[in-house]
Amino acid sequence: MNSAARIEAFLEMMSAERGAAENTLASYRRDLEDASEAIKGGLAGAGSADIRAYLDDIAARGFAPTSQARKLSAIRQFFKFLYAEGLRGDDPTGTLDSPRKGRPLPKTMSEAETGRLLDRAAHEAGEAGPDGDRMAALRLHALVEVLYATGLRVSELVGLPVTVALRDDRFFMVRGKGDKERMVPLSAKARTAMRAWLAARAERPAFAESPFLFPASSDSGHLSRQVFARDLKDLAARSGIAAAKISPHVLRHAFASHLLQNGADLRAVQQLLGHAD
């Protein structure tokens, strides 16, 4: 089946029968030709599995959900045309779900910026003087190292049980949304920062018996998300990074982005983040 000819016929129909504007036709052409080039044997003869694999590929290439949805829409229109004209006996897009647009992804931090942030936290943890400053610095260093190593949600991070640090394992299980468990990794730097915090924490009788890794005198018994977010912004400012640019969620997003940029599998990263199937 000649995909190029079928695409041309579809575009002619869109122009003649539906009065599609030139920029709309150009967008359809780009999207359909890109899909046809990516799918072995061309788009016109593709099955549902071929199109699903193509959508997975463009997601892995970093296309925004809105762009993915636009491309799928063009492909749907194309196959509706083929089916209506008797050029296909089926519509392979019928079982495909549109990508969820959701909210725009947050601005992320570069690896260099993240490195500056972590280095600053480590420096302050090593140089802190008075006891109160030392405790705060060690806690913040552990928090940012664990967050960047694991990609935890902030609620998962501040509510971690102390047993995570006691075991000194390279992986641990976290219970996330919907009471679902997943395994996440711990870097050597994160484990070292947690051990240093754990030693300081043990010196505080009020904290020593807490079941939480980051205890606090709050109703929940652990550090609040708001306090961590405030401390993180202050750390960013001291690192020469605009405080408005950073939040716990942005650092979580940096974890995922940097893994993908370095060749990690998209599905594996989604599982680490605890995204639903």
Q: What CATH number does the domain containing 18 carry?
A: 1.10.150.130
Give 161-201 pLDDT, tens digit per residue.
Answer: 999 998 878 999 998 777 788 999 999 999 999 999 999 99
CA distances from 10 to 25, 122, 186 (A): 10, 59, 52
Angle, helices 65-84 vs 3-16, to 10°: value is 90
pLDDT digits (tens, 9 = 90+) for 89-115: 888 888 776 665 554 444 578 999 999
C-beta separation of 213 from 165 below 8 A: yes
Confidence bin at 63 (pLDDT 50/70/90): confident
Give the pairing type, strands 181-185 and 171-175: antiparallel
Residues 75 and 122 in one domain: no
User: What are the Cα distances from residue 249, in Å, to 4, 5, 176, 228, 255?
Assistant: 44, 47, 15, 11, 10
Based on the fold, state whether residues 117 and 254 are members of the same structural domain: yes
Amino acid at 9: A
pTM: 0.62
- What average pLDDT is seen over the chain? 88
Residue 203 token pair: 């010196």
Asked if residue 169 is part of any domain, the answer here is yes
- Clarify whether residues 69 and 189 are in a common domain: no
Confidence of residue 130 (pLDDT cuts 50, 70, 90): low
The sign of the CA dihedral 196, 201, 202, 204 is positive
Q: What are phi and psi of 142, to 5 degrees?
A: -65, -45
DSSP secondary-structure letter at 97?
A: P
Does 30 map to a domain?
yes
- Read off φ and ψ for residue 135, nearest 5 degrees: -60, -45
Q: Would residue 194 count as lying in a domain? A: yes
Q: Are residues 181 and 243 in the same domain?
A: yes
Count Cβ atoms below 10 Å from residue 53 Cβ, excluding itself.
Answer: 14
Q: Are residues 24 and 151 in the same domain?
A: no
Domain-located, residue 33: yes
| Residues 245 and 141 both lie in one domain | yes
| Same domain, residue pair 67 and 117 | no
Contact between 210 and 161 (Cβ < 8 Å): no
End-of-domain residue from the set 84, 119, 151: 84
Full domain range(s) for residue 26: 3-84
- Same-domain pairing of 75 and 195: no
pLDDT in tens, 45-59: 999 889 988 988 888
3-state secondary structure of 224: coil
Same domain for 24 and 140, yes or no, is no
Query: Angle at CA 136, nearest 5°, toward 213 and 145?
Result: 60
pLDDT in tens, 131-157: 778 999 999 999 999 999 999 999 999
pLDDT at residue 106, as a whole number: 46
Q: What is the pLDDT of residue 263?
A: 87
CATH number at residue 127: 1.10.443.10
